Amino acid sequence: MSANAELLKTIFRELLNFDPHPDDLETLSQMIDTLKQDTARLEEVDTTGVNPAFLSEPFAGPRKV
């Protein structure tokens, strides 16, 4: 098992009290990398002062805090 997969297993166990499926650890660690890429793309968008969407009624319109 790669170091990344080992780390992932530990994080899941310690943080979520959850054991990932043993067949998935390597693929999952690669998928976490794509998640990081997704997150990095989101950081490119300026959301200063923007409320998260859809946490109350839909179509109430965008709200600034």
Partner 1 sequence: MDQSLLFAPIRELAHKIREGETSSLSVMESLLERINRLNPQVQAYLTVSQERSLEAAQQKDREMRAGKNSGPLHGVPLALKDNIETKGLRTTNGAKRLHDHIPSADATIVKKLKKAGAIIFGKLNMHEIALGGTTDNPHYGFTRNPWDSSRIPGGSSGGSASAVAAGMCPASFGTDTAGSIRIPAALCGIVGLKSTLGRVSRSGVFLLSWSMDCVGPITRTVRDAALLLEVIGGFDPKDPVTSRKRLPRYTEELEAGIKGIRVGVCKEYFSDLVEPDVHRAFQGAMTEISRLGIDVVELPLNLERAHVSAAHEIILASEAATYYEPHLRAGIGDFGPDVRLRLQRGLAIPAVHYLKAQQVRTVIQQRFRDLFDQIDVMASPTVAVPAPLRGQQNVSAGGVQRSLREALVSLTLPVNLVGFPAITVPCGFSSEGLPLGFQLVGRPFEEATLLRIAHQFESATPWKDQRPPL
Tell me how far apart the alpha carbons of residues 10 and 28 are, in angstroms, rounded to a whole number: 13
Nearest distance, CB of residue 1 and partner 1, angstroms: 16
On the 0-12 / 13-18 / 19+ scale of CB atoms within 10 A, 25 is: buried
Residue 51: which residues within 8 A CB-CB, separation 6 or more?
Answer: 62, 63, 64, 65
Residue 11 interacts with partner 1 (CB under 8 A): yes or no: yes
Tell me, residue by residue from 25 to 44, as one string, x for binding to partner 1 by CB under 8 A and - for no binding: --xx--xx--x-xxx-xxxx
Question: Applying CB under 8 A, does 14 fall inside the site for partner 1?
Answer: no
| Residues at the contact surface with partner 1, assessed by CB under 8 A | 8, 11-12, 16, 18-21, 23-24, 27-28, 31-32, 35, 37-39, 41-47, 50-55, 57-59, 61-63
